[in-house]
């Protein structure tokens, strides 16, 4: 059974916008034409992809199951045309991108106008949260992850290293003292991220230690990176932070590094990842190349 890729593109756009007429306008189709084309696609598949009422459009169970495959077919077509040199000069469509909100606020949101000016035919659909989304179930084209890449169903390109260091507000250290060794941390208020699990530390001379909030004098558990930095700035305690999230506060003196000879032992990397099954479509490739050039080539926090 052959599938009309224009109809698939219409379905994907309608699923993103939950509006068939609006999806048709994006693709240059009159409302009657878009409705008829979508109905023909559903008839050929033998399944209702979108539920329609007079008030709203919603994705059906079958539509949700079919959506990742529709995106893949479109991506395959775009990649094939690009390989033959027949890709249009303007990259169009919607790119769904998930990233940690803390990082996005600092390094991605400020450069989006430049990217959109370079690619006016693209729509960016951003999902920004420190909670990780499932790429495949969520039908995301691309995501930024600041964790080891262990999922074998995903592929990725490195954006930058993600070093984690200990820091605190100078006022906190003036009040409670500055730890001289990792063992001194048990006498301090430690701010934990998401849970109280110990985090291994490594020293420059090869020593090993741990950042263990459960053994500390006091603890605060926060699941949002930006809020963790804010609490640290306010003097709530010592926290283990990504260097990219605190480097500007270290330079200004609002935060001070604690135990500068130690940092997190995990070799964390900022990855740009996408489902392994997906063809790397032109829209994904240009956005990855842009982020690597603007952020990864010379990470501001490493300068």
Strand 238-242: give its sheet, edge to edge.
Answer: 218-222, 189-193, 238-242, 164-168, 256-258
Q: Alpha-carbon distance 185 to 192, whole Å?
A: 13
Tell me the β-bridge partners of 99.
Answer: 128
- CATH, range 164-264: 3.40.190.290
Alpha carbons within 13 A on the beta-carbon side of 9: 18
Read off the pLDDT of residues 58-115 as tens digits, 9 standing for 90 and up.
888 998 888 888 887 887 777 676 666 555 556 778 888 989 888 999 999 999 999 9
Q: What is the pTM of this model?
A: 0.68
* CA nearest to 67, candidates 161, 155, 136, 158: 136
Which is higher by pLDDT, 135 or 169? 169
Domain 1-87 carries which CATH code?
A: 1.10.10.10
8 A C-beta contact, residue 45 and residue 66: yes
The answer to which of 132-141, 178-187, 252-261 has the lowest mean pLDDT is 132-141
- For every residue of 163-211, DSSP letters joined together read -EEEEE-HHHHHHH---SSGGGGGGSEEEEESS---EEEEETTS-EEEE
pLDDT exceeding 70 applies to what percent of the chain?
88
Question: What tens digit of pLDDT does each residue of 6-51 get?
Answer: 888 889 888 888 888 888 887 888 888 888 989 999 898 888 998 8
DSSP alpha helix (H) spans, the chain: 5-17, 20-26, 31-45, 61-83, 101-103, 112-118, 170-176, 225-233, 243-252, 282-291
pLDDT in tens, 230-246: 999 999 999 999 999 99
Mean pLDDT of the chain: 85
Domain ranges (residues) in the chain = 1-87, 164-264
Non-local (6+) Cβ contacts of 159 within 8 A are 144, 269, 270, 271, 272, 291, 292, 295, 296
């Amino acid at each position: 059974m052959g599938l009309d890729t224009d109809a698939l593109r219409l379905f994907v756009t309608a699923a993103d916008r939950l509006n068939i007429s609006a999806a048709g306008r994006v693709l240059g189709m009159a409302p009657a034409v878009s409705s008829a084309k979508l109905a023909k696609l559903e008839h050929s598949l033998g399944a209702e992809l979108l539920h329609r009422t007079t008030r709203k459009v919603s994705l059906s169970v079958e539509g949700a199951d079919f959506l990742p495959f529709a995106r893949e077919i479109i991506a395959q077509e775009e990649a094939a045309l690009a390989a033959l040199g027949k890709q249009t000069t303007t990259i169009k469509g919607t790119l769904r991108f998930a990233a940690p909100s803390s990082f996005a606020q600092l390094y991605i949101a400020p450069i989006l106008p430049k990217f959109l000016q370079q690619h006016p035919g693209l729509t960016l659909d951003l999902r920004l949260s420190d909670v990780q989304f499932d790429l495949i179930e969520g039908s995301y084209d691309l995501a930024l992850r600041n964790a080891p890449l262990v999922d074998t169903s995903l592929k990725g390109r490195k954006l930058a290293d993600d070093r984690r260091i200990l820091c605190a507000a100078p006022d906190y250290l003036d009040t409670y003292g500055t730890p001289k060794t990792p063992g001194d941390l048990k006498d301090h208020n430690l701010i934990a991220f998401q849970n109280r699990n110990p985090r291994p530390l490594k020293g420059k001379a090869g020593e090993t230690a741990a950042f263990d909030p459960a053994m500390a004098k006091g603890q605060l558990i926060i699941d949002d990176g930006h809020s963790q930095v804010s609490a640290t700035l306010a003097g709530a305690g010592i926290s283990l932070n990504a260097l990219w999230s605190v480097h500007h506060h270290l330079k200004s003196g609002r935060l001070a590094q604690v135990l500068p000879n130690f940092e997190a032992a995990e070799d964390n990397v900022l990855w740009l990842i996408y489902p392994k099954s997906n063809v790397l479509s032109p829209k994904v490739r240009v956005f990855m190349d842009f982020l690597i050039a603007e952020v990864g080539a010379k990470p501001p926090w490493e300068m």
